[in-house]
Structure 1
Amino acid sequence: MSLWFFLSDWFAGVPTLGVLFKRFMINGAWASIVLFVMIFLQLPAECAAVVYFGVLVVNGVMAFVFLRQRVQMRE
């Protein structure tokens, strides 16, 4: 299975706000785990910032795609 297949499935077809919220929480949980591992390994703060803001960007993209799908469904 390719990474693109996984990502296209993850970003596409969010039917409800509940599913979108669930995906936000899953992304946040993975980021928290990665951040705790980074703390344990004492990696630089710049790496942690990339993970943190990366999650914000990914969640923003998912919200944008969700809103675009909702607008297209109304038309």
Structure 2
Amino acid sequence: MIALAGFMSAVMALVLLFMRRHYPPSIRGVGGWAAAPLLWLLSTVLFGARGAIPDWLGLVLANQLLVLGSVTYY
């Protein structure tokens, strides 16, 4: 399940990056929207590595990246 969430975040980031290339420069913010799923992807990787990495990485940093990605969308 965690791998699927990470894969979907990566696909969403790629779609938004391609959209950014084709949108007019007057429309700002698409780059931030593309960064949010990348933050979610990194968060998902850290959540998936729990037990193999220290807790401050697998819990604290992963949750912070998840919230930061959500705030970036806003």
What range describes the TM-score normalised by the shorter chain of this pair? 0.3 to 0.5
Query: Which is helix-richer, 1 or 2?
Result: 1
Structure number with the bigger relative contact order (C-alpha 8 A, sep ≥ 6) is 1
Could you state the TM-score of these two structures normalised by the residue count of structure 2? 0.44
Could you state the TM-score of these two structures normalised by the residue count of structure 1? 0.44
